[in-house]
Every structure is written in structure tokens, then in C-alpha cells.
Amino acid sequence: MSETMKAYIEEAERDLLHTYNRYPVVLDRGEGVYLYDTDGKKYLDFVSGIAVFALGYGNREYNDALKAQIDKVIHTSNYYYNVPAVEAARKLKKVSGMDRVFFTNSGAEAVEGALKAARKYAYRKDGSTDHEIIAMNHSFHGRTFGALSVTGNAKYREAFEPMIGHVRFAELNEIDSVREQLTDRTCAIILETVQGEGGLRPAEEGFLRWLREICDERDILLILDEIQCGMGRTGYYYAWQKYGVKPDIMTTAKALGCGVPVGAFLMTEKTAGNSLEAGDHGTTYGGNPLACAAVEKVLDLFEKDHIIENVRKVGPYLEKSLEELKERHHGITERRGTGLMQGLVFDRPVREIIDRAMERGLILINAGPQIIRFVPPLVITKENVDEMISILDACLESGEPSRE
Ligand SMILES: *Cc1c(COP(=O)(O)O)cnc(C)c1O
């Protein structure tokens, strides 16, 4: 590592709040599925900024669209209409099949909005303020208080208690466990269609169908958090579309703007008409013209560049390649996930493996201490998968615990 890079890292450690154990690299620029550090070293990227940069780096059309919008106007506030927001909302409705959109600046804010909408929906029915939300263990919904309150990982929540309250946790894919938490106060059930941070676990079709039925029966809102698994990652624009189990409220972010901070929560017309009203919710930046120009262009490029088709082609290949890798290395106990959202579960902490991969020019990320997560740009090719596997193979061979 050069002295220059070392100096940047030291300064960052002095100046930035220490809330991350960062990997010792200063990333400088990107090209396609490769990133370069400030020393010019090249890395194959299987993280895409945590499932964000779906289109690959340096996409000319995307960059030009942003530059053009910057020259027009970046921000106007939500008290006026703007064309990119109208265009982005129309396109997002089309790919999601949802009816109404509220743009946010992040995933966590999309979850906050969804939770507020659910409480308001129940409040408008009976005027009471003791409604409950059911969330899943091992879920992840973000770091703000509302989102944290429905995140099923006590370690993230503990020091910040009390949470918003009236949240009950159940087990993903266990109908009885949800049934035990249901009361006449339940106003919403929130889950990730495919759990990300919590371990790359997809919700099963039967479980989703049962949730939809119970929600319809009791007029409870089904909230699907598609922030990580949405935007094509599973081979569908939104993962629930595979089963046709449509939520009442859906959250999206991460790849939605491909790096420009933007998220959204979307609702069906019925939910929208019976929940948030004028004055109930707002944001200064949310859905500003720059962010919406990004969303608009990302959705155009998804169609034009056949992104979903690519995921359907390369996703199964990645899955198969990871299964084969698992057979070759006894430390890998399980493969999980779907499409280009995959995880390998190890019998030991994976930080060291990820460090070694970085030395060999491969960027990977964990999901919890013992899982390596694979969330590459959605433009990844089979050749890129082969390249990743051969680097990872070498890392695992050099790090295999010796059997004396
Ligand atoms: C990343 C993530 C969030 C939080 O999004 P931020 O943009 O980091 O606030 C929420 N839900 C899921 C499923 C996520 O993966």
C-alpha cells in the first residue's frame, strides 16, 4: 500500500466517527464490474456498494442523464411539481404494479414511512393508538428508530432501547410462530421477501401466501421490504412478483437510484386512500429532481439493457458455481439465496477470507460473522463469476485450517 493511501486511511480514522470496521482500501473509481483504488489496483466487485450499483460503474447514459439534470435543477422541494418525479413515479408504478409512490432519501426512511402509514391505516379505523406490528427474527430494516424497532436482531437494538414499542417478533417461514403473535391489535406484518443482512434467507411461497390470506381476512397490512432483494436482484423487478403475493405497502431503495441516494415506499390505492393524508408525512430532499432523474434513467436502462434477463441467466450460474465451491471446501456448510443475491455459510468467521480476497483483487462482503454475501452488479457475466470463483478457491485453499 502506498504512503498516500495509508495517509488517507489514517486521516479517515481520525476524522470519521468510528461506526464501521472498514477494509483497508481507498476506492477511487469504477469501470463496469471493476473498481480501482487510489494506487490503481484493480478489483472485481461482488458487492456493488451493498446491492446498489446494479448497472456497473461508469455507465455513460446514466452519467449523462445525471449531468444534464444537474445543469437544469437539482432540488425544488416537495411543495412544487417536477418532471423527473412524475416520470420516475410512472415508471416505478409500471414495474412494481403498485399504485402510489412516496420518494425518500434512503431505505430506512422508506421503512419509517411504511410503518407510519400502517399505524395511520389502523388509527383511521378505530381511533386507538395501541396497534401492534409483527416483524421477523433475523430481519434487517435499517438503523433509524422505527426501522430498528422492527429489526429482528437484539444486538442492533439493545443499547438504544426503548424502541417504538408494540412490535412482536416471529420466525420467518413458520406460520405457527406468526399465529402466536397475532392479536386483535395487529395492524401490519413486515418482512423482507428475501432476508439480506440477516443471512440471505428467502421467504417461502406457502408462507407468503398464508400471510396474504391472514392479512386480507383481518384487514392487516402486509409490508414487504424489497430494499435489498428488489430492483431485479432475484430475476424479478420485485421478489414478490415471483409468487404474485402482492403487498399492501412495499419499500424499495439501494439499486433504485444506483448510487444517488433515493428510496421509496409504494402502496395500493386502497391503502393510500385510507392511511397517510396531507400533513401526515414529509421530507425536504425526498424525490428531488436529481434523485428522480436517476430513478427514471435506471428504470430505462434496466429495460434497454435487459438487466432482468441477465440476472435470470447469470443468477443460476452463480448458484451452481457456489454449490460446486461448497463441495470442494469442507468449511462451507450451506449455500443460500436466490438470483444474484447469494450467501455461503461457513463454519467459522469469514472476515479473514474476505481480507485475503481483497489482497487478490476481489471485493466481497459478509452478512453476519459467518456468511459471505454475493450481491454483484446485475450486469455481471458468467466469465466474471468464473473469475470470482477462481480467486475465492485460491483464498480458501490458502486458508484451509490444517488437519494435523
Ligand atoms: C439496506 C437495507 C435497509 C436500510 O436501507 P438504508 O438505505 O441503509 O437506510 C432496509 N431494509 C433492507 C432489507 C436493507 O437491505
Distance CA(133)–CA(246), nearest Å, equals: 18
Ligand 1 centre and the CA of 170: distance in Å? 20
Distance CA(105)–CA(219), nearest Å, equals: 29
Q: What is the arithmetic mean of pLDDT over 98-116? A: 98
Strand partners, 190: 223
| pLDDT at residue 400 in the model | 64
Each residue of 23-80: pLDDT tens digit?
999 999 999 999 999 999 999 999 999 999 999 999 999 999 999 999 999 999 999 9
| pLDDT at residue 231 in the model | 98
Distances (CA, A) of 154 to 149, 219, 307, 343, 386: 10, 29, 36, 22, 38
Q: Is 25 in the pocket of ligand 1 (CB under 6 A)?
A: no
Ligand 1 centre and the CA of 123: distance in Å? 27
Q: Is 105 in the pocket of ligand 1 (CB under 6 A)?
A: no
Q: Whose CA is nearest to atom 15 of ligand 1?
A: 228
Cell numbers 436482484: residue: 233
Give the phi and the psi of residue 194 in degrees, each rounded to 5. -130, 120
Give the phi and the psi of residue 252 in degrees, each rounded to 5. -145, 150
Strand partners, 223: 190, 249
Q: Is 198 in the pocket of ligand 1 (CB under 6 A)?
A: no
Each residue of 340-389: pLDDT tens digit?
999 999 999 999 999 999 999 999 999 999 999 999 999 999 999 999 99
Is the full-model pTM beyond 0.85? yes
Among 48, 103, 115, 141, which residue has the most ligand 1 atoms within 8 Å of its CB, making it the best to mutate?
Answer: 141
Is the pLDDT at 325 greater than 70? The verdict is: yes
Phi-psi region at 166: left, alpha or beta (left = phi > 0; alpha = psi -120 to 50): left
Domains contained in the chain, CATH given: 3-55+306-398 (3.90.1150.10), 60-304 (3.40.640.10)
Each residue of 206-236: pLDDT tens digit?
999 999 999 999 999 999 999 999 999 999 9
| pLDDT at residue 149 in the model | 98
Q: Whose CA is nearest to atom 11 of ligand 1?
A: 141
Atom of ligand 1 at shortest range from CA of 142: 4
What's the grid cell of residue 345?
Answer: 455459510
**Signed CA dihedral, 352, 148, 16, 52: sign only:** positive
Q: How many CB atoms lie within 10 A of CB 386?
A: 12
Distance CA(39)–CA(363), nearest Å, equals: 16
Q: Is 265 in the pocket of ligand 1 (CB under 6 A)?
A: no
Overall size of the chain counted in residues: 404
Each residue of 288-303: pLDDT tens digit?
999 999 999 999 999 9
